[in-house]
Amino acid sequence: MAYEFPEGWRFRMTGWRKFFILVFLVAVGVMIYRLVYGLGAATHLNDQWPWGWWIAVDVLIGVALAGGGYSTAFLVHILHRKQFAPVARAALLTSMLGYILVLIGLFMDIGRWYNFWRPFLVYPGSWHSVLFEVFWCISLYTMVQVLEFGSIVFERVKSDWLKRVFDAMLPPLFILGVVLPTLHQSSLGSLYVVTVDRLDPLWWSIALPIFFLLSSFFVGPAMVTLEGSLAAKAYGRQMEIPVLSRLVKVGAWVMFIYLVLKLIDLGYRNQFGHLFDGSLESNLFLLEIVGGVIVPMIMFAIPSVRNSAGGLITASVLTVGGVILNRMNVVFTGMAAAMGGHYFPKWTEFMVTAGLIALAVLAYCFLVENFAILPAEEHVPAGKPSEAHTSYTVVG
């Protein structure tokens, strides 16, 4: 049972990375303070607003934006659309890091954090709890992604028998890696179905689970595009425009389905009057739908736009911004009138989120510089993605 660790682990220390390390260390101090002194001292949460910044950003938004992992895996490993394989590993890495941060964010938001292990046990009534299902699915899916990543790790950390073990596990892991996210992505919407008398009717719907699931799917290609553009800039690479152009086209079709269902739902519940009444809620809803769904959907549908780096990035930013605004509207805008009281996050709440993002950036840089995550650069004509066997490379 021999292991051969590669020599020359790399991590370039730049000014930005030193800054991210500093931000993360400050956040660690804040997290320790929160664990010692409690939520009351470290946040502005109160009885009217028990769910705040960490739930909205670190959990609801974090889980949605990590959807690129399961949406890409569904296309590549379930539907066998191998033209998307060049971005599959990067999507897995980004999603895995995102879910690890979600678990840390959940841990920070537990009042009695030392009881974090209790949801892993089954109590009477647990099977009827949406939160129980969300916790289990997120935890299991994170473990599935870590196991999937193990196959990549043992390409460099030489251990033939472990490599064979992890490779043998991949088929069932790919299936679980698609099934589990569809459960908890939709169940996060189910959490707000019970707020029928509190959540603004522009966002409340019995179809919220479907809307949450569809939006997490179509934001996946946009997140993969943004991750690819940032990696290309950071490491002096070319964007995988031919691959990403076809990937966002899939996302555009899902956006179209989402939009049609949204309009049908609003009409069925007679909410078009509220939609154009000029209130803050209606204006933010229109911004979310027009700026975050309709405009990028049209941009993705135009070949000349989606085949250019500028068009891809712009439309992807709008898509990601639209999903972020949707989750913020559900948690804050749509609930404000019913919740009463006042809530604005404390600086420590912002600091924890900033620290988690800094950790994700640092971890991503280390992993792509030491493991074969990004595709080996090939000059492929625009609009003609290669469907040949994909090779990956270490960058740095």
Tell me: the pLDDT tens digits for 201-235? 999 999 999 999 999 999 999 999 999 999 999 88
Query: What are residue 393's phi and psi, to 5 degrees?
Result: -145, 160
Average of pLDDT values for 328-357?
A: 91
Given a cut of 60, whether residue 359 has pLDDT beyond it is: yes
Mean pLDDT score of the chain, rounded to an integer?
89
Contact 238, 329 (CB under 8 A): no
Looking at residue 318, its pLDDT comes to 97
CA distance 292 to 307: 20
The whole-number average pLDDT for the span 12-41 is 93
User: What does the pLDDT read at residue 379?
Assistant: 44
CA distance 364 to 97: 8
Per residue in 289-341, pLDDT (tens digit) is 999 999 999 999 999 999 999 999 999 999 999 999 999 999 999 898 888 77
Indicate the residue type of 177.
Answer: G
Q: Say how many CA atoms lie within 13 Å of 330 toward its Cβ.
A: 26
- Using one digit for the tens of pLDDT, what is the confidence trace for 73-85? 999 999 999 899 9
Q: What is the share, in percent, of the chain residues with pLDDT greater than 90?
A: 61
R_g of the chain, CA atoms, integer Å: 21
Task: Give the per-residue pLDDT at 386.
Answer: 46
According to DSSP, the residues that pair with 4 across neighbouring strands are 158
Overall pTM surpassing 0.85 (yes/no):
yes
Q: Tell me the two tokens of residue 207.
A: 């179809």
Mean pLDDT of 249-273: 95
The answer to whether 240 and 87 are in contact (CB under 8 A) is: yes
Look at residue 388 in the predicted model and tell me its pLDDT. 46
- Chain segment 95-123, per-residue pLDDT in tens: 999 999 999 988 888 888 888 888 888 77
Predicted pLDDT at 7: 62
Band (157; pLDDT cuts 50, 70, 90): confident
Quick check: 56 pLDDT over 80?
yes
Q: Is the sign of the CA dihedral 179, 180, 186, 191 positive or negative?
A: positive
